[in-house]
Structure formats: C-alpha cells, structure tokens
Amino acid sequence: MLSLYVHIPFCAGKCRYCGFFSTVYTVEAADQFLKALGQEAFLLRRQFQDQVFETLYIGGGTPSLLSPRQITDLFELLKANFHFFSGGEWSIEANPDSLSSETFDMLLEAGVNRLSIGVQSFSDEELRVLGRRHKALRAEESVRQAQRSGFRNIGIDLIFGIPGQSLADWEKTLASAVGLGPQHISAYALSLDEGTIFSREAAAGALSLPDEGIVSAMYDKALDMLRGAGYGHYEISNFALPGCECRHNRNYWSRGEYLGLGPGAWSFVRGRRSSNCADICAYEQQLSGGALPTAYEESVGSTEAAAETLLLALRTGEGLDIRDYERLCGRPAAARVHAGAARLLGSGLVQIADGRIRLTARGMFLSDEVIERLWT
Amino acid sequence: MSSKEIRNFSIIAHIDHGKSTLADRILEFTGALTDREMVAAGKAQVLDDMDLERERGITIKAHAVRLQYQALDGVEYVLNLIDTPGHVDFTYEVSRSMAACEGALLVVDASQGVEAQTLANAYLALDHNLEIVPVINKIDLPNADIESTKKQIEDVVGLDAETAIAASAKEGIGTREILEAVVRMIPPPRGEEQGPFRALLFDSWYDAYQGVVVLVRVVDGEVRPGRKIRMHSTGAVCEVQSVGFFTPKMLQTEKLTSGEVGYIVAGIKRVADAKIGDTIMDAERPAVQPLPGYKDVKPMVFAGLYPMVSEDYEDLKEALEKLRLNDSSFTYEPETSLALGFGFRCGFLGLLHMDIVKERLEREFGMALIPTAPTVVYRVTRIGGEMVLVDNPAKLPNIQEIERIEEPFIIASIITPESFVGSLIALCQERRGIQKEINYITKDRVLIKYELPLNEIVMDFYDRLKSITKGYASLDYELSGYVESDLVKLDILLNSEPVDALSLITHRDKAALRGRQLSEKLKEVIPRQLYEVVIQAAIGAKIIARETVKPLRKNVTAKCYGGDITRKRKLLERQKEGKKRMKQVGSIELPQEAFLAVLKVGE
C-alpha cells in the first residue's frame, strides 16, 4: 500500500510539549510554502505516475490554519500531480482554535473524509499548562460542529501525564471524549521530546510530572474506559470504533510505503527511508533551485528491516506474525524472538497465541523495554 | 677487574621523589647512554620499560645496569645500578634487590621531605646492612627546603645527613658528587672468588627469544656458559647458555665472577622456575649453604576475574597464562560462580599489583572483565582442628562448622601533614585499627602507626586516605601476622537468591553497617528493570538490610509515525550495544559496577 503525507509547517504558536518543526502562520508565508510544495510535487510526479495513493494525510503543524483558498490550492496541486484511489482515506489534522464551519465545508468539498482534532484535554487548566490556545468548551464545540458539518470519521487526540494532572482529571477528560462519540481516539502519554519547552523545563527541574505509577494507571484507565465504550485498542496509543482505524497510520506500522512532502517529512519508498530538511527556508530554497530537499537517506537492509518489523508489529493489537517474521529474517532469528517472548510469558507482558506474539496492555506501556529484550 | 673496583648499589625513594630521573642522569653521566640514545629511546626514563610503569611513574620490575665510572681518584670503577620496584606491594622484590647491593642512594624530595616509603625503604636497606647515601633531590624547586629535609632524615630515619648530597636530577646538579660518594662510601663486594659458585637471583623475566632471563648477583665463585646450575629451592638443574650484563644494552661475556652483577640465560621455560630470592649453585659442586632471605612470596589479595562475555573464557585463560610467564608473584586458578559463570580466582601481592594485572589484561589483551571485590586470605579452623585457607568469601564453610577465623593484620605507617591527623585517626579507628605510635617528625608532619586488619585496607582505605588528606599523606605497610577475629559472611540476595560474587567477609560489628551501605549502593547502580529487584543483605538466615529497585512502569514511545521509525530502530541498535555491558544473573541484569559496589560504598 502506498500513502501520501503532507506536512504543513504552520502553527498559531508553539505548544510546550511539541517538538515538530513549525513556524508562525501568515498568509504570505503559507502562499510561498504552497508554491514550494507544488514544485516538490511536480519534481516527484514522474516517479509516481504509475502509482495510486490509497491514503492521504495532511499533518503539521496546523493544516487547519490555511485559508479556504489555500486549502483549495493545496488539494489542487496534489490532485494535479498524483493519482489517488477513489475510496481512499483522506485525513487532515485540525486544531479547535482554527476551525470554522466554512473550513469544514471546504475540506469536505476537497475530498477530506477524516478529521483528526487536536483536543489534547478537556480541562482548561491542563490546556493552559500544555500551551494550547483553546479552551475545553471550544474543543467540544469544534467536535460537534464537525459532526454537524457531515464528517463521519472524526478522531480526537488526547494527552495524559500532563504536569499537575491527576488520575481523576484524566478520567474526566476520557469521559468527555467518549461522550462526544468520535470514531477514533488517540491517547498519548506525554513524552519530553528533545527541543521542546517541556524538556528544557524538566532539565532545569521546573516541571513536576505525575509519578510513573500514576501515569501507568492513567494508561490502564484509558484502556478500561475506551474499550468499555466500544473502542478497539489497535495500537499502543490508538483506539477506534470497529472499522474506523486510521488506515494511513496502519500503513506505517505494517511497513507499507509512503511518500512525504513538506519540510521534515519522511518517505519510505522502494526500501529507502529518506527525509526532507526540516527547516522551511532551506526547504523552499532547495526547491526554488529545482532540487529535491532531501536531507537524509538510507537503504534499509535485511537486519534493519527485521528490527523495524519487530518494533512496529509489536506496537499493534495484532502483534507480530511469527511466520511472516521468519520469512523476512530466517528461522534462527525468528526462533530467538519466539524464545525471548516465551521467557517473558510469566511476566504478564507478552502473550503468544495463534502464531502471533502480542504485548499485553502492561507490555505495551513497557514496550521499549520488552522490544529491546526480544531484539537479540 | 678486581672486586675492589666494583660498587653495587640501588636507588630507593618514595614514589615521585625522582628515582628514575636520577638513574637516567647517572646513565648519561657515565656515558652508558648518549644524549642521542636517550632521545632515541623515546622515553624519559630508561629503566622503566613497561608502558604502565611510565604512566604510573613507578617501577615494577627491577633492572640492573653496569656502568663504567672514571672517579676523581683516577681509578675506573664498575658500578652496578640495581633499580628497585617502588611500591609497597613489591617489598619482597625490593628486599632481594637490596640483598644484591652493598649500598643505596636514599633519594628524598627537598620539597616533600621524608615520606612513608622513604622510611620503609630506608629501614629495609638498614636491615640489609647497606651503606646509605642520602641524596636531597629537586633542590631546583622554589619550595625546596634542604635543611628541613636533612633534619627529617636525621630525626625520622635516624641517618647522619651531614654528608647528604644536594642534587637536582632534573637539572643534572650533583650527579658527580653522587657518583663520588658511591665510590667512596659504599664498600666493595666481598665473597669467595675461589669458592663454590653461589649467586642470588634477584629478578627474572620471560623473553620470547631466549626464554627466561635471570638477573643475579654472584656472591662466590664464577659461572660460565656450559656449566650446569641448580636452583636451590626447586632443585631444577639447567645448563648455562650465556652470561653477561646490561649497559643497558645486553652484552655477553665469558663469565660472571664473585661480586659481579649480570644475567644468566639457561634455557628456563617459566618464570615460576626462576624464583626471586633463590640461590643458584653449581650443580656439580654445590655450595654447602644457600644464601639467606629466600621466601616463597604468597599473594595477599585475591579477586575473581570473569569474562564479560562467557565465550571469552578461553581467551582470558590464555591471557592469564601469558601474563604469568612474566609475573610469578601473580597466581590464578579456575573457579565457577553461580552468578558469573566460569572465571578465575587470582592472587596478587597487593591492590596496586591487582590493578596492574587488570589493566594489562584489558589493555594488552583486549579483555572485557568483571572483577569481583578483592579479599584477603582467611585462616579458618574447622571444628575438629582442620585449617583451611579461604580466599573467596563464597567458600567460607558454614558457620556451624567453624571453630575460629583468623585474618591478616598489617602495620601501616602513615606520614601526614599535622592538620589531617584527626581525620586519619578517625579513619583508622573506623577500620578497626589499633594505634601503635604517633610522632611528630617535624613541627607540622606526623608519623602515625596503626595495626589494621588487611581486609579493611583492601576495601578502599588508600583512596579514602588520599581523599581525606588531599593527596598529602603517604602510606606504607607490612604484614604483621594473623589474628583471630569475630568475622562473618555477609551475603547479598537479589530477589531472594544469593549472588555468590557479591558475598564478603566482614567483622561482625561492622556487618550491619556494611550490609546497609552495600544494599544502598547496589540500589544506585542496578538499573530499574521489568521486575522489582529486592536487594537484601544477610548474615546467615538473618536479613540485616533491604532495598528495592522499583520496577519500570513506563518505557514507551507513545508516537511512532513516519520519521520515528528510523529513530526508534537506531535507538534499538544502540541499546543492544549497551546490553552487552550487562551481566544477566537469573532474571536480573547487573552492570559491571555492581560487582565492585562494595568498594564504592561511601562515595
């Protein structure tokens, strides 16, 4: 399966937990960027002229900041250069503070059929701590508005483990989320990514994070409540009503191919992983000179492929198919992973059934440890 | 050449007081080495030929160089300069080198004064009836105090310092005066030129081409190639292939005779067959009496050495074999630990010796090692009277079977600036020391003598001493004997399983504290794991300390999309490398430091 990712590097401001490259939105800057993006698509069109993209994901940044005209331009440039599967999943990320009914209509018209709303929390205090620019009420309204506009596939993102957050606070946010009835909920444990304001504050000792045991309990709570409400736990941080799993993201976890456009976007095409330069100026400069803005490129060898398969498959609810793994990297390597998993059976972190190795909920929250032990 | 024109001497000094530099100056002055050769040798100190010796500024192996010296009295003398190891671990080797001499230059740093090893070496020289020539070195330093140093030599060491020579080996000041004093003050060797051959073996090493080379001082008679010689202690007989001396170049001669110092090559295969201090005799015409003073040196400090990766066991074995070729005072034998698998119990003369061996294994042989904490040898008498030597805490018999345990004690001589006396006394008391003596050697420097259990020294005594005194105190010690003590085995249990490699033997009164400290230290060094790790310290069945390493609850990459995949994979590869430095003990992963945690207690 082939997917297309487009990175829109604009935000209204910097959130304290976010390590993604973004710059402040202005109409001019976005126009200039879209021009470069068009150039990038144009340079790649021949390479992909015989291929069909099954999913499209517009991420960022905050794509919903684009003006209605810019949204039209964006989709036009994509459609002009690439072929898309007619029943494909087209997602876009949106922030509650930048959504209007006009935008919803534009998006629907452009062909977008899945909306991923960056709610993060339904507590005003937590939103403030995170550096978000919307209030809880606005978040709820934007979800309802999207539903009214006709979106049948809405996902909301939540964060837990926020400084000052208690288990009860998290429970409230989960209840609000479930109450809105979105098709998809992502619940991410807060991580202190490099380059974020949070990571600097943590290094300076100025961040009081909830205890690891509490964060672990929050994860359990999410599983408990979301499963109870009918959401399937199909990846470490992702829950969906049956049939509403994000196809685009699933493609990443099954090592499918994808092309990434925009600054800092990654591609995985024909066994090569590559990334664009993350800096928007350098990105535009390269393209204005007629060159692809590639910053990094590597060929994924068989050992690396095995490592990727292991670490990606074990993120998912389906787990790792031992037979598939054996076909990929040979019987001895598969046997080692199998034996490693068997050793962990007693720990309640791993299950082996139907020729698959799966992480339990606890195993998922310790997946970096568990995967490291299996990767020998 | 008559033995009247021979002078055999060594240089003795506290570490860093300039012994090797003085040796270089003497070599230069007598023309043994030209300036050009000094440079070509590519190193400042010619007699220290192992990298480690130079790096640590100490001399491990003794060497002997023959020099020609045209004295002011018009006579050309033959001087044999015998270099001695400069550390407390090698006292026996030093004593044998001294036994090959009639005199010694006692080098004292004019800016430091008399230190613990100055004293220890001077007493050792006096024990061997050597004529001691005091040399006050480093007089070029701005803080040199010649008069005070002289006074210390007189008051503390008890030597006449009136004739002490003021010198700067670095600047070449005083070299002739020193050589003149050697010729005038040190007596020529005495011996029976016509008597049956007797020589003192004072050093030996393995040479890949010639086999074992032994350094000897011929006392009586002579030795030539073709003669059969016999090692008195082992009875081994071999045929002399060549004899000669070092200038420092190796030069072959016809014979070595009474009073001379030189080498013998006799087809000896192992250094262990050429024991330092042994008497070499003529196999056909053996002397009646061996020379006095021979001792079979026994290692005093033991530790387990295990390969980090168990597949490296054979490589480690080979490396140990090779090391032993050149170092007969170091011993090893295979042992098995439940926790660490197959390894070796190694015996060393002391802690420095242990460090040197460990470093050589790592550096020269590329071994990744897990050393266990050093221990001394305990004499354990079982009920019924049978005595066993225990060099591994894990091997201590059951408490019910033990009648008594004795442990080795030492006499430590510490010289320190006055301001640290209080802290040092506290340290010695804390280490179960018994005060023997406190003396002011100058108005602000003090000599402290304590009798201490060696097991308290091997832990981290020297490091503590140095840190308490900011490096100003010096230490020397000698074994004083075995004393019965109330000792117990302290076991460490991880998740209720005893880890043999972490056991230690300690005094009952200190067991609770040690157990607590060690558990706390282990808690620090053991990383959090998937499971809870309960650390317990126990004496027999009684738990005396408990710590818990909480299990990891969260270690997750919450988001893994496009570019995260590469990052995550690379992280996985790096973690795998890190894991190689961990030892799996049961279901627990232990880092290398865990096995030496006991040494780091209190840091």
B339 to chain A nearest CA, in Å?
19
Q: Which residue did the predictor score with more confidence, A107 or B443?
A: A107
Whether residue B49 has pLDDT greater than 60: no
pLDDT of residue B119: 87
Q: What is the pLDDT of residue B59?
A: 42
Judge contact between A246 and A91, C-beta under 8 A. yes
Residues A170, A176: Cα–Cα separation, whole Å = 10
List the one residue out of B553, B505, B71, B135 whose CA is nearest residue B302: B505
Whether residue B46 has pLDDT greater than 60:
no
For residue B402, list its beta bridge partners: B382
Q: How many separate helices (H) and strands (E) can be counted in chain A? A: 15, 17
Q: What is the pLDDT of residue B58?
A: 43
> Mean pLDDT, to the nearest integer, of B125-130?
92
Interchain contact A248–B (C-beta under 8 A): no
- Looking at beta carbons, which residues of chain B come within 8 Å of A372? 572, 575-576, 579
Q: CB-CB: which of A237, A308, A366 is closest to B555?
A: A366
Q: Any chain B CB within 8 A of the CB of A224?
A: no
The number of residues in chain B equals 603
Residue B498: pLDDT above 70? yes
Tell me the β-bridge partners of B432: none
Measured in angstroms, the CA of A185 and the nearest CA of chain B are apart by 13
Q: How many CB atoms lie within 10 A of CB B94?
A: 26
pLDDT score recorded for residue B62 = 42
Least confident span in A306-315, B143-152, B182-191, B441-450: B441-450
Q: In the prediction, which pLDDT does B86 show?
A: 63
> B-chain residues within 8 Å CB-CB of A375?
572, 576
B459 or A374, greater pLDDT: A374
3-state SS assignment for residue A91: strand
Contacts of B575 in chain A (CB under 8 A): 372
Give pLDDT, residue A225: 98
For the segment B287-303, what is each residue's pLDDT rounded down to a tens digit?
889 998 888 788 989 99
**Above pLDDT 70, what percent of chain B?**
94
pLDDT tens figures, B351-395: 888 888 998 899 888 998 999 989 999 999 999 999 999 999 999
Residue B195 pLDDT greater than 80, yes or no: yes
- Mean pLDDT for the stretch of residues B469-482: 87
* A254 and chain B in contact, CB less than 8 A: no
Cβ(B345)–Cβ(B272) below 8 Å: no
Residue A215 sits at the chain B interface (C-beta within 8 Å): yes
CA distance A189 to chain B (A): 6
pLDDT at residue B137, rounded to an integer: 96
The pLDDT assigned to B3 comes to 85
Q: Do A365 and B530 touch (CB under 8 A)?
A: no
Q: What are phi and psi of B239, to 5 degrees?
A: -100, 135
Chain B contacts to A (CB-CB under 8 A): 529-531, 552-563, 565-566, 568-569, 572-573, 575-576, 579
pLDDT of residue B451: 97
Residue B60 has pLDDT above 80, yes or no: no
Q: How many CB atoms lie within 10 A of CB B145?
A: 17
Give the 3-state secondary structure of residue A84: strand
Identify the pLDDT of residue A22.
Answer: 83
Sheet holding B250-253, edge to edge: B237-239, B228-231, B279-282, B198-207, B211-220, B261-265, B242-246, B250-253
Most confident of A161-175, B70-84, B271-285, B315-329: A161-175
Which of A56, A266, A343 has the highest number of chain B CBs within 10 A, making it the mutation to test binding with B? A266
A366:B553 CB<8 A:
yes
Contacts with A212 (C-beta within 8 Å, 6 or more apart), sequence order? B552, B553, B554
- Give the model's confidence band at B42: pLDDT under 50 very low, under 70 low, under 90 confident, else very high: very low
What is the pLDDT, as a whole number, of residue B33? 61
Instruction: Looking at the complex, report in whole angstroms how far the Cα of residue B572 sits from the nearest Cα belonging to chain A.
Output: 6
DSSP 8-state assignment for residue A62: -
Q: What is the predicted pLDDT for the residue at B602?
A: 60
Residue B50 has pLDDT above 60, yes or no: no
| Residue labelled with tokens 């809880």 | A136
Cβ atoms of residues B118 and B148 within 8 Å: no
Asked whether the beta carbons of residue B553 and residue A212 sit closer than 8 angstroms, the reply is: yes
pLDDT tens series, chain A, 376 aa: 999 999 999 998 889 998 877 899 999 999 999 999 999 999 999 999 999 999 999 998 899 999 999 999 999 999 999 999 998 999 999 999 877 888 899 999 999 999 999 999 999 999 999 999 999 999 999 999 999 999 999 999 999 999 999 999 999 999 999 999 999 999 999 999 888 999 999 999 889 999 999 999 999 999 999 999 999 999 999 999 999 999 999 999 999 999 999 999 999 999 999 999 999 999 999 999 999 999 999 999 998 999 999 999 999 999 999 999 999 889 999 999 999 999 899 889 999 999 999 999 999 999 999 998 898 7
- The first and second tokens of residue B543, run together, are 């738990």
Residues in Cβ contact with A312 at an 8 Å cutoff, skipping those fewer than 6 apart: A252, A253, A254, A255, B560, B565
Mean of the per-residue pLDDT values of chain B: 89
Three-state SS for B200? strand
| A344 Cα to chain B: minimum distance (Å) | 10
Mean pLDDT is lowest, of B45-49, B224-228, B304-308, B427-431, for: B45-49
Planar angle of CA A334, A3, A240, nearest 5 degrees: 75
- Asked whether the beta carbons of B491 and B513 are under 8 A apart, the reply is no
Asked if residue A174 lies in contact with residue A223, where contact means CB atoms within 8 angstroms, the answer is no
Regarding predicted confidence, which is higher, A100 or B86?
Answer: A100
Select the residue of B553, B557, B565 nearest A308 (Cβ to Cβ). Answer: B565
Per-residue pLDDT tens over the stretch A244-286: 999 999 999 999 999 999 999 999 999 999 999 999 999 999 9
